[in-house]
A = this chain, B = another copy of it.
Amino acid sequence: MLREQIYSHRLAPGQRLDEAMLAEQLGISRTPLREAIKVLGAEGLVELRPRKGCFVTELTERDLEEIFPIMAVLEGRVACEVAGKRTPQQLKTLDALHEKLERRAAAGDVDGYYETNYVFHDTMQVCAGNRWLQTVIGDLRKHLKLSRHHSLRLEGRLDASLSEHRALMQALHAQDAEAAERIMRDHLLAQLTALRELSNEAARSAHVE
């Protein structure tokens, strides 16, 4: 429940969590709530300052600048693995997902594209067959979800994303591990670039006011 509230920004980043209030609101006592908070603290979704309370983690631009290059390396590794040892069955599944992406994009359904894109990347990780790689990437994604910025909101980014996915599928079909890795890396870094531009746009429009 807490995670949902944090991701939906009903608990805003930086906000302090009042244990008594939250416990009453959720209809439980403080004990299990505190245990939940400790878990979120260990995951990094909230910051626990001893004797001060618990605060929803704020993701700075610096965090994004640091996380995306790591994601790029890790997801690149995923693509590399998948290209190398994909089964025809897996390829079929990925093709189907990619097709879905194409349809969503054609329909201009950004939210649907985002969701399917998530499933696609997740499926890639499963295909790579490295559970720890999945865990590490999942941990980082958890944090990225704290930010409400979506790179797809940048003009033209959706088309670019789609074309990168097309190139990736081609590399997977050709079992070209090196190309797949490079394409996936650049795909992630392109998202960071898009976020930067969105941030710049926001700064400019704020300056105009």
Contact = CB atoms under 8 A, between A and B. Distances in A.
Nearest to A129: B66
Tallying the copies of this chain within the complex gives: 2
What secondary structure prevails in chain A residues at the interface with B? Answer: helix
Interface stretch (A7-15, A30-38, A87-95, A165-173): A30-38
Contacts of A74: 70, 73-74
Interface stretch (A16-24, A109-117, A130-138, A156-164): A130-138
A132 B67 contact: yes
Interface in A42-88: 42-44, 63, 66-67, 69-70, 73-74, 77
B77 A69 contact: yes
Contact of A132 (B41, B70, B77): B70
B66 A77 contact: no
A209 B132 CA distance: 35
B70 A136 contact: yes
A134 to B, nearest CB: 9
5 contacts: A35-B35, A38-B38, A39-B41, A40-B42, A66-B130
Task: List 10 A-B pairs, minimum CB-CB distance, nearest first.
Answer: A42-B42, A66-B132, A39-B42, A66-B130, A35-B38, A38-B38, A67-B132, A38-B39, A73-B77, A42-B43
